[in-house]
Amino acid sequence: MSLPHALLGLLSYRPATGYELKAAFEQSIHFFWNATLPQIYRTLNQMRERGWVAVTVEHQEGRPSRKVYRVTEAGREELRHWLAAPPEIPQPRDPLLVKVFFGRQADPAVLAAHLKMWRAHYAGLLRRYEEEIAPLIHHYAALTGASEDARYWSLTLEFGRRFARMAVDWCDAALAAVTQEGKVHG
Amino acid sequence: MSLPHALLGLLSYRPATGYELKAAFEQSIHFFWNATLPQIYRTLNQMRERGWVAVTVEHQEGRPSRKVYRVTEAGREELRHWLAAPPEIPQPRDPLLVKVFFGRQADPAVLAAHLKMWRAHYAGLLRRYEEEIAPLIHHYAALTGASEDARYWSLTLEFGRRFARMAVDWCDAALAAVTQEGKVHG
DNA sequence: ATATAATATGTGCATAGTTATATATTTAAC
DNA sequence: GTTAAATATATAACTATGCACATATTATAT
């Protein structure tokens, strides 16, 4: 499981609350590992129990207290250890491909609509990478001490770009194959 | 969730036991939706409770009985209904990308080893697609009534091919970036 | 004034998925 | 002859994830 270690990684940049970690997730890890807020809060509790993070409660009059988490030395050691362990190969799970696989039993028009929706999603992602994420990495790269990290962030962005481009291209090919159905070629 | 519907789809080709379904999975759905044996057995039970499948117990003297599942008309209706519903967009989860993202804190040599292992996996998949899966689709396409289905199976195979190729290419680029670390160009 | 969004932290329940274990038979390898 | 692998069916326990809900404050928009 990567979630506790992804949180350790984010906290290694700076201490943060669970809410702030969720926001940081949305701009980065989110594209290759997802997490909901309840999951983040629960995982932070487990990490505290294991001594990987320490909590400082910032009391504020009349407002809910902020729980600021920071990595302990044990946490940094755990992160280094996890980074050195060979990564698990991901198990792909894509409902669209299941629907395409049994596509003969579906209405070709409906299948084409699914493919178009899917294509639009990845085309949108591609735009978001260029317009939002790439500039964001540039911005953080300009900060002191972050330029080295930015090189690695860019590698994951490049993966996202290539995947999205591949998805869009495959979709076009699949759409051509699905809509061509029944036409005669000579 | 796609598992019950993937099982309905496989059973729509022919009745089968849980064990046979697992074997069929390994050669097809497996590449875009995974399932373990216990999960398949439990899901089949749920499907039976919902009336999507019917069971025939084949008693054999001195041998464990085979439970053969077949789709009911309600099951076929459910499959058609599911195929027409818009597919969920998959949430990618890839531990390697998390490790690359925080790669600055890792030993570059270890990170390179991870990337090489990952590359080897997708290069192997690519070979398997050509040598095992493509001929298999050809074989089933030759059977009466399966040629129409084979066109859709091929679309999912093509996705696998493109993904694996993209993964290998990205890996080469990432390896170059990671091992180039610290070298001076001029 | 009112509503909504954002900040901030969680609990409870349900679903989904993995690993370990148990049982029993047949077939192939050594 | 013995062992291991494949066939065949599961249950129990555990982990992970997701969705709905509860609570409270502050800032912004209408």
Rounded distance between C-alpha atoms, residue A55 and residue A70, angstroms: 7
Nearest C-alpha neighbor of A116 from the set A161, A176, A163: A176
- In 10 A of CB A77, how many CB atoms? 12
Same-domain check for residues B20 and B69:
yes
C14 C1' to B185 CA distance, Å: 57
Q: Taking residues A99-119, report their average pLDDT.
A: 97
In this structure, is residue B90 part of a structural domain? Answer: no
Q: Residues of B from 148 to 177 whose C-beta is within 7 A of strand D: which are they? A: none
Instruction: Residue B14: give its domain's CATH number.
Output: 1.10.10.10
Pairing between β-strand B53-60 and β-strand A63-71 as defined by DSSP bridges: unpaired
* Section B153-181 average pLDDT: 95
Domain check: are A8 and A71 in the same one?
A: yes
> What DSSP string describes B79-107?
HHHHHHSPPPPP----HHHHHHHTGGGS-
Pick out residues 88-107 of chain B having their CB under 7 A from any atom of nucleic acid strand D.
91, 93
Residue A62 has pLDDT above 60, yes or no: no
Q: How many domains does chain B have?
A: 2
Query: Quick check: is B185 in a domain?
Result: no
Tell me, yes or no, if B163 comes closer than 8 A to chain A by beta carbon: yes
Q: Is position A135 within any domain?
A: yes
Predicted confidence at residue B1, as pLDDT, reads 79
In this prediction, residue B184 carries a pLDDT of: 61
pLDDT band at residue A82 under the 50/70/90 scheme: very high
| Nearest-10 crossing angle of helices B18-26, B3-13 | 100
Domain that holds residue B50: 3-84
Contact B166 A170 (CB under 8 A): no
Taking the CA of residue B147 and the C1' sugar atom of nucleotide C26, their distance in angstroms comes to 35
**Is pLDDT at A81 greater than 60 in this prediction?**
yes
B154: left (phi over 0), alpha (psi -120 to 50) or beta: alpha
Q: Which of B58, B84, B110 is the last residue of a domain?
A: B84
d(CA A72, CA B114): 26
Contact residues for B62 (Cβ-Cβ < 8 A; gap 6+): none
Interface with A, mutate which of B31, B34, B100 (most A CBs under 10 A):
B100
Say how far apart CA A7 and CA A44 lie, in whole Å: 8
CA atoms within a 13 Å half-sphere pointing along the CA-CB vector of B158: 18
A33 and A67 assigned to the same domain:
yes
Is B84 part of the contact surface with chain A (CB cutoff 8 Å)?
yes
**Does residue B185 register a pLDDT over 60?**
no
Amino acid at A186: G
Residue A181 DSSP class? T
Interface of B with A in 118-147 (CB under 8 A): 118, 121
Q: Which residues pair with A68 in a beta bridge?
A: A56
How many alpha carbons fall within 13 Å on the CB side of residue B167?
23
Q: How confident is the model at residue B144 (pLDDT cuts 50, 70, 90)?
A: confident
B41 touches chain A (CB under 8 A): no
Dist CA B105 CA A141 (whole Å)? 16
- The per-residue pLDDT of chain A, averaged, comes to 93
Residue-wise pLDDT tens digits, B43-97: 999 999 999 999 998 766 555 678 999 999 999 999 999 999 999 999 999 999 9
Instruction: Report residue B158 as tokens.
Output: 């093509």
Using the predicted structure, report yes or no on whether residue A60 has a pLDDT greater than 80.
no
**Is A99–B83 a contact, with Cβ atoms under 8 angstroms apart?**
yes
